[in-house]
């Protein structure tokens, strides 16, 4: 793979348990490669595990035309504002209230709707490491590209939409009314009963008719099949979240990449 001649991109999703990365070229068919690397169970800290994983993975240290990084943290909020400055000020105040320890963290914001911003508090050691290791990387919250992608698609529809992204022990819910973002939140969910509670509670809170407004589900979890069965019992028939067809040329492996990473190349971050 000759990156000096071909614009290959690197996308990284870093959490406190693992690092998932994807490389591909937007002009080379079937060029996508991805890998998940779990951190050692005896790691001293997630920060040291992240650094060691990057340094021990030669693919990550090659030259790329663009590097995008996503941080998986629960220290995030959404705020309503008219501009970046106001959004940052409001986010800093809210994050400091919710997470008092964030005085040593960097607050990173990104606009995800007409008057909506997502903001996260990230350890400064993490952002410093990413910036000194990679060439001008973008740094955003894990949900930023997914929110941008879903927001773009919501412009072409009416009515309510609830998008659910399943994980092993949690789920993300992103809701829209037509093209207006209504909420983004992450909930702990280790069973189908947990998941359906949060889905139905969200629909009730937003005054959605869960049997007629559209519900989309993506992601894999041990309880996905049980959740679909429970939803059927409530006369709710979810649809799979629409896969970004623009990424199919990248190769079949793209179907196994987390939705947050696969939507990254489609967003202007």
What CATH number is given to the structural domain containing 235? Answer: 3.30.420.260
202 and 173 in one domain?
Answer: yes
More confident residue, 154 or 63: 63
Share of the chain above pLDDT 70, in %: 92
- Cβ atoms within 10 Å of 28's Cβ, excluding its own: 15
Determine contact, residues 151/113, Cβ cutoff 8 Å.
Answer: yes
Helices 46-55 and 124-133 pack at an angle, to 10 degrees, of 10
Determine contact, residues 23/45, Cβ cutoff 8 Å.
Answer: no
**CA atoms within 13 Å, Cβ hemisphere of 113:** 27
pLDDT at residue 250 above 60?
yes
For residue 26, being part of any structural domain is answered with no
For residue 37, being part of any structural domain is answered with no
For residue 28, being part of any structural domain is answered with no
pLDDT band for position 178 (50/70/90)? confident
pLDDT band for position 142 (50/70/90)? very high
For residue 139, being part of any structural domain is answered with no
Give pTM, 2 decimals: 0.91
Q: How far apart are CA 94 and CA 139, in angstroms?
A: 20
More confident residue, 127 or 242: 127
153 and 98 in one domain?
Answer: no
199 and 116 in one domain?
Answer: no
Mean pLDDT of 182-196: 95
pLDDT at residue 216 above 50?
yes
pLDDT at residue 6 above 70?
no
Domain extent for 158 = 147-240
Q: What is the pLDDT of residue 65?
A: 93
Domain count, the chain: 2
186 and 115 in one domain?
Answer: no
For residue 104, being part of any structural domain is answered with yes
pLDDT at residue 49 above 90?
yes
Q: What is the pLDDT of residue 247?
A: 80
For residue 184, being part of any structural domain is answered with yes
| Distances, alpha carbon 245 to alpha carbons 35, 82, 256, 264, in Å | 21, 32, 14, 13
Q: What is the pLDDT of residue 3?
A: 47
For residue 7, being part of any structural domain is answered with no
214 and 178 in one domain?
Answer: yes
């Amino acid at each position: 793979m000759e990156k000096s001649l071909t614009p290959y991109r690197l996308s990284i999703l870093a959490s406190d348990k693992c690092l998932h990365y994807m490389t591909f070229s937007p002009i080379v068919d079937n060029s996508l490669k991805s890998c998940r690397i779990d951190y050692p169970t005896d790691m001293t800290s997630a920060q040291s595990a992240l650094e060691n994983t990057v340094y021990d993975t030669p693919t990550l240290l090659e030259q790329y035309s663009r590097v995008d990084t996503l941080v998986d943290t629960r220290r995030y909020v959404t705020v309503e504002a008219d501009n970046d400055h106001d959004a940052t000020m409001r986010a800093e105040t809210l994050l400091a209230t919710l997470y008092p320890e964030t005085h040593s963290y960097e607050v990173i914001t990104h606009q995800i709707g007409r008057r909506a911003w997502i903001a996260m508090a990230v350890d400064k050691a993490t952002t410093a490491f990413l910036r000194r290791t990679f060439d001008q990387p973008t740094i955003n919250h894990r949900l930023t590209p997914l929110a941008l992608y879903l927001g773009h698609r919501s412009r072409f529809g009416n009515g309510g939409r609830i998008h659910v992204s399943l994980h092993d022990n949690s789920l993300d819910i992103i809701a829209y009314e037509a093209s207006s973002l209504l909420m983004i939140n992450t909930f702990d969910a280790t069973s189908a009963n947990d998941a359906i509670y949060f889905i139905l509670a969200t629909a009730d809170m937003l005054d959605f008719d869960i049997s007629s407004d559209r519900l989309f589900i993506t992601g894999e979890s041990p309880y996905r099949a049980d959740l679909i069965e429970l939803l059927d019992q409530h006369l709710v028939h979810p649809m799979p979240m629409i896969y970004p067809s623009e990424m199919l040329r990248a190769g079949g492996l793209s179907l196994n990449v987390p939705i947050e990473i696969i939507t990254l190349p489609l967003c202007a971050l």
